[in-house]
Every structure is written in C-alpha cells, then in structure tokens.
Amino acid sequence: MESNATVVAAQPASPANKYDWMESLAHQLRYSSTGQRAALRRVALTQSFKADAVVIAFITKANVPEKDRQHDFDRWRMIAHFATMLVGTGEPGPDRPFVQAESRKLGSILGKLDYSETRLLRLLSVRGEALDDQVRRIASFLPQKDKIFELKDRRRVNLWTLYDLLDGGGDGDRAKSARIKIAHDYYTAKS
C-alpha cells in the first residue's frame, strides 16, 4: 500500500480572521518604535501623513481587507491612537502593555475606575468629531488609573467595542449597540 504524503501548508504569519485584527494591532504596537508610537499619539493634533502611513502599515500587516481599510480608515486611525495611548512611551518590547483583551469590557472598566456618569453620558450621546474627543479623553484617563487593576490587566480593553462605537461617526447600527453595551456594563460594574 502506497502512502500519500500530505503537505501541510504553513499558516500565514499574520492573522486572516477578522477577530485577530485587533490582536495583531496590539502586538505590533508593543514592538513598534518610539517614533511610530509618538506619531500615533499626536495623530489628532498633527493629522500628518507619517502617522497615517503608520496606521496603514499596521492594519495592512493585520490583514484587514483593502475594502475595510479604505472605508473605515478614520475608525482605524482612532483605534490606533487610542491603543497607542494605552501602550504608552518607552522602549519597545514585551514590557509594553498588550492592550487588546476581549474579556475586558470598556463600560465595566470605566465603572470600576469611577469614571463620572456625566462623562459617560457625554461619551454615549455625542457623534462625529465630538465622539473622537471623548474617546481621546478616555485614552488619557485609563493610563492614569493603572493602580486599580492587577499588573497583568492594566490598560487592557476590548478594542472591538470602541471600533463599533465609532461606526458611522457614532450614528451606525453598531454604534447604537455599542452604546447600550457600554452603558449596561458601566452600571453593572457600579452596582
């Protein structure tokens, strides 16, 4: 009996599954240069092509399809900025926080950190550029509250909730669901 040798194709180095996109982005940010992170931290202020090029490189390496890269580029830019704020500054490497964690609900984290209800309601009610401003405020707020969580969980959040919140500038169907989820998780954590 002749044996048929089966060749197993090597898995691609970067993820192909949509849910791996954020994992890849978080991993890339840990090991990105301080210059790349600095550009992403200032992306809202400078609106530079250099920062956009960094975002494009990250989401391309994460295998985000071209259609999604073009259609949702503003969302990806904001996600990269938010995640970079959580990663922080300093030398790249494994000591940088890994910021994506599906189990870490944004609303729960804000509730546990005593994020004010007024700020939460503002986050959930604004749209467009005002929503971007509120997301930036959360990105600045979370790193200041590191001591509340265990070392392994600090600065970790489910970035997909934020991605959904930014849908259509805050007016899309995903954004509506994300607002409800954030509010539910926030008030559950507060009780």
- Residue 140, classified by CB atoms within 10 Å of its CB into exposed (0-12), middle (13-18) or buried (19+), is exposed
Based on the fold, state whether residues 31 and 64 are members of the same structural domain: yes
Instruction: Render pLDDT for 124-158 as a digit per residue (tens, 0 to 9).
Output: 999 999 999 999 999 999 887 655 554 346 678 99
Domain shared by 88 and 34, yes or no: yes
Residue 131 sits in the same domain as residue 151: yes
Summarize pLDDT for 144-153 with one digit per residue, the tens.
765 555 434 6
Tokens standing for residue 80: 């990269």
Mean pLDDT of 58-79: 92
Any domain includes 184:
yes
Give residue 16's pLDDT.
54
User: Does residue 49 have a pLDDT over 80?
Assistant: yes
Portion of the chain with pLDDT greater than 90, in percent: 62
Domain extent for 130? 101-191
Based on the fold, state whether residues 59 and 128 are members of the same structural domain.
Answer: no
Same domain as 35, residue 72: yes
Domain total of the chain: 2
- Per the rule left: phi > 0, alpha: psi between -120 and 50, beta: everything else, 128 is left
What pTM, to 2 d.p., does this model score?
0.85
Question: Has residue 5 been placed in a domain?
Answer: no
